[in-house]
């Protein structure tokens, strides 16, 4: 035993303990995550990756206002920010484990056990619990423990050499670095292979192989006048890659059409089961429908329009025979997300569809490949289930869907809304004629009028573009004789029921934002 005094002189500088601890901890975490990825890959389940499992649990259990905040602040990057946050917390935790392990190994292993517990709890907290989902975490932690053992065994002598790191110190340093490089290489390789395995290249190939049927009831080409051709104005048709994406899925489900099936059951007379081929053999139609997210702020961009290819959902439900009292269509996606749609809305004659293509292309994976629901007039969270595989007829009184459980409205028709696209906020303009233009939507009621006013003056009627039907948004334009000064432009829409968009401001939660969009500009 060393005396206290000699212990003190031999104690390595704190900086070295932190550095060695950090490297040990981070490499341990890398080894654990790599092994977990590989296991998830061998299971063929991207959802089983521990980072995703924990992320999913955070998404499911964070309060609605927090999620709303994340969407408002980070927009479509909310998931990237969340994953980055999880990785950052993980890294800090790893450094702490490594640091502790160099002094007291037991504390290091206990830290790993905590890590495993978080992963297991998160896996079981998921909506569709799969026992196998805990396997990657367990394998990861075992491999992590082995890495920690290996690395700390080589790091501790480096600490002991203290200030007199002579020849022996150099040897020991080399052994530590060799072990570290080995662990890093193994972590990288296993992680890479795991990612590759879940990459879904098979699903990618099967998506490219889908041959879209020619519609039995095709639509005429879009009327010429749907686009007013004003620079900066949102195009009538949203290109697929620019279509907003909102969902709770941290990894996009990649379901191949061969594996896809749909079950219609619950309160029906004749349950139905369909595969992809059978679905495509039904009567296929084209549909122009604008979709909107309930989280869209006034003036926001969580709205898009496309020409869908799909089959009638109402027809399918009629075949199944909906029983009296079944007022809710509860649909579920492959990743367990649920959505509650009013049965009467789907059956009222509107084009509620099971869609499999948008803009002449099979649905992109992000937008629900191979099949999703679309119902004109309802916000996405109560109508637009992506990767849908299960439709259960039930009662609102008996079951609640994902967002309804989290404080959002059970029923949510899209509110009549209008947006100014040009000029942009705080744009500097020259006096003279200025094109003020934007889009307005009131799906399944139709936009009847759009009005604009400047500095709270008289309302002026905007000119409206053509539309194919009442389920899409509508472009509008108003020519303004701009005079010098700072001005505020405001817009409001009136739908075909005669209802004029309210000026009353409401936040997206619980049933959609309201209020007039306004833009300030400087004319000089
Ligand atoms: N499986 C699944 N489907 C889903 C969601 C989801 O989280 N998971 N989100 C819904 C919401 S809130 C909206 S607004 C639309 C968005 O569809 P998009 O991403 O194709 O634009 O999908 C709906 N369908
Ligand atoms: Mo949404």
- For 43-69, b/e burial (b = at least 16 CB within 10 A) is bebbbbbbbbbbbbbbbbeeeeeebbe
C-alpha distances out from residue 21 to 14, 17, 32, 99, 114, Å: 10, 6, 16, 4, 18
Three-point CA angle 258, 260, 261, nearest 5°: 125
Q: How many CB atoms lie within 10 A of CB 147?
A: 27
What pLDDT does residue 196 have? Answer: 78
Nearest alpha carbon, ligand 1 atom 19: 245
Q: Taking Cα atoms as reference points, which of 250, 239, 199 lies closest to residue 78?
A: 250
From ligand 2's centre to the CA of 440, what distance in Å? 18
pLDDT band at 404 (very low <50, low <70, confident <90, very high): very high
Q: Is the CB of 406 under 6 A from ligand 1?
A: no
**Window from 26-40, 148-162, 378-392 with minimum mean pLDDT:** 148-162
More confident residue, 412 or 45: 412
From ligand 2's centre to the CA of 104, what distance in Å? 49
- Which pLDDT tens digit goes with each residue over 113-161? 998 888 888 877 765 556 677 888 899 999 999 999 999 989 888 887 5
Q: Is the CB of 480 under 6 A from ligand 1?
A: no
Highest mean pLDDT among 105-119, 165-179, 249-263, 373-387: 373-387
Q: Is the CB of 228 under 6 A from ligand 1?
A: no
Calculate mean pLDDT across residues 351-378.
97
Q: What is the phi/psi pair of residue 369, to 5°?
A: -50, 135
Q: Taking Cα atoms as reference points, which of 214, 221, 252, 215 lies closest to residue 237?
A: 221
What pLDDT does residue 8 have? Answer: 47
From ligand 1's centre to the CA of 68, what distance in Å? 14
224-406 and 417-523 in the same fold: no
pLDDT band at 63 (very low <50, low <70, confident <90, very high): confident
What pLDDT does residue 48 have? Answer: 72
The mean of the pLDDT values for the chain is: 90
What pLDDT does residue 50 have? Answer: 76
What pLDDT does residue 4 have? Answer: 41
What pLDDT does residue 184 have? Answer: 94
Domain ranges of the chain: 9-199, 224-406, 417-523
Percent of the chain exceeding pLDDT 70 equals 92
More confident residue, 447 or 256: 447
What pLDDT does residue 11 have? Answer: 59
More confident residue, 51 or 8: 51
pLDDT band at 199 (very low <50, low <70, confident <90, very high): low
Q: Is the CB of 68 under 6 A from ligand 1?
A: no
What pLDDT does residue 168 have? Answer: 58
| Position 6 pLDDT exceeds 60 | no
- Which pLDDT tens digit goes with each residue over 149-174? 999 989 888 887 554 544 557 888 89
Nearest alpha carbon, ligand 1 atom 9: 247
Peptide bond before 395: cis, by omega within 30 degrees of 0? no
Q: How far apart are CA 129 and CA 152, in angstroms?
A: 36
Three-point CA angle 29, 35, 39, nearest 5°: 140
What pLDDT does residue 76 have? Answer: 61
What pLDDT does residue 172 have? Answer: 86
Q: Is the CB of 337 under 6 A from ligand 1?
A: yes
Nearest alpha carbon, ligand 1 atom 10: 381
| Position 79 pLDDT exceeds 80 | no
Tokens of 413: 């028709």
What pLDDT does residue 206 have? Answer: 85
Give the CA-trace dihedral at 84, 87, 89, 92, to 10 degrees.
-130
Q: How far apart are CA 198 and CA 379, in angstroms?
A: 32
Beta carbons of 509 and 65 less than 8 angstroms apart: yes
Give, for ligand 1, the residue of 249, 364, 386 to mutate: max count of ligand atoms closer than 8 Å to Cβ.
Answer: 386
CATH C-level class of 417-523: mainly beta
Tokens of 195: 């990612």
What pLDDT does residue 5 have? Answer: 42
Q: Is the CB of 380 under 6 A from ligand 1?
A: yes
**Window from 56-65, 102-111, 236-245, 420-429 with minimum mean pLDDT:** 56-65
pTM: 0.77
Q: Sign of the C-alpha dihedral, residues 114, 120, 124, 127?
A: positive
What pLDDT does residue 156 have? Answer: 87
| Domain 224-406 CATH assignment equals 2.60.40.60 | no
- Which pLDDT tens digit goes with each residue over 279-330? 999 999 999 999 999 999 999 999 999 999 999 999 999 999 999 999 999 9
What pLDDT does residue 122 have? Answer: 82
Q: Is the CB of 384 under 6 A from ligand 1?
A: yes
pLDDT band at 10 (very low <50, low <70, confident <90, very high): low
- Which pLDDT tens digit goes with each residue over 469-479? 999 999 999 99
Q: In the beta sheet, which residues pair with residue 419?
A: 439
Give, for ligand 1, the residue of 76, 78, 245, 246 to mutate: max count of ligand atoms closer than 8 Å to Cβ.
Answer: 246
**Window from 96-105, 238-247, 454-463 with minimum mean pLDDT:** 96-105
């Amino acid at each position: 035993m060393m005396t206290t005094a000699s212990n003190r002189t031999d104690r390595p500088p704190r900086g070295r303990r932190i550095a060695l601890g950090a490297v040990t901890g981070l490499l341990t975490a890398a080894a654990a995550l790599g092994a977990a990825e590989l296991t998830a890959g061998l299971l063929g389940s991207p959802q089983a990756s521990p980072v995703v499992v924990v992320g999913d649990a955070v998404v499911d259990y964070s309060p609605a206002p927090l999620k709303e905040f994340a969407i408002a602040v980070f927009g479509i990057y909310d998931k990237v920010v969340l994953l980055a946050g999880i990785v950052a917390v993980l890294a800090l935790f790893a450094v702490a484990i490594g640091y502790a392990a160099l002094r007291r190994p037991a504390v290091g292993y206990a830290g790993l056990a905590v890590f495993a517990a978080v992963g297991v709890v998160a896996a079981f907290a998921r909506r569709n619990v799969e026992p196998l989902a805990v396997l990657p975490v367990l394998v990861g932690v075992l491999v992590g423990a082995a890495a920690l053992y290996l690395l700390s065994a080589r790091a501790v002598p480096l600490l002991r050499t203290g200030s007199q790191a002579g020849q022996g110190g150099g040897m020991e340093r080399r052994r530590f670095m060799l072990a570290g490089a080995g662990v890093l290489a193994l972590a990288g390789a296993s992680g890479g292979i795991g990612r590759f395995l879940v990459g879904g290249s098979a699903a990618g190939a099967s998506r490219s192989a889908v041959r879209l049927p020619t519609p039995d009831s095709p639509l005429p080409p879009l009327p010429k006048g749907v686009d007013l051709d004003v620079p900066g104005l949102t195009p009538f048709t949203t290109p697929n890659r620019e279509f907003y994406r909102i969902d709770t899925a941290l990894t996009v489900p990649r379901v191949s059409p061969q594996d896809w099936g749909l079950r219609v059951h619950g309160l029906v007379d004749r349950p139905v089961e369909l595969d992809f081929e059978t679905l495509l053999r039904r009567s296929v139609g084209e549909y122009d429908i604008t979709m909107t997210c309930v989280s869209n702020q006034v003036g926001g961009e969580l709205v898009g329009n496309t020409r869908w290819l799909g089959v009638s959902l109402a027809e399918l439900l009629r075949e199944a025979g909906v029983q009296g009292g079944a007022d809710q269509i509860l649909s579920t996606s492959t990743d367990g997300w649920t959505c509650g749609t009013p049965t009467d809305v789907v059956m009222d004659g509107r084009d509620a569809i099971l869609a499999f293509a948008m803009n002449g292309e099979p649905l992109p994976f992000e937008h629900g490949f191979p099949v999703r629901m679309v119902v004109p007039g309802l916000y996405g969270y109560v109508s637009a289930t992506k990767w849908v595989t299960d439709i259960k007829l039930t009662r609102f009184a008996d079951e609640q869907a994902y967002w309804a459980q989290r404080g959002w409205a059970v029923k949510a028709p899209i509110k009549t809304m209008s947006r100014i696209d040009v000029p942009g906020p705080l744009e500097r303009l020259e006096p003279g004629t200025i094109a003020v233009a934007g889009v307005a939507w009131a799906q399944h009621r139709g936009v009847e009028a759009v009005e604009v006013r400047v500095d709270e003056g008289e309302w002026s009627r905007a000119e409206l573009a053509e539309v194919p039907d009442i389920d899409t948004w509508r472009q509008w334009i108003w020519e303004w004789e701009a005079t010098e000064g700072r001005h505020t432009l405001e817009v409001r829409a009136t739908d075909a029921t005669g209802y004029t968009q309210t000026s009353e401001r409401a936040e997206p939660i619980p049933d959609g934002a309201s209020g007039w969009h306004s833009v300030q500009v400087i004319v000089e």
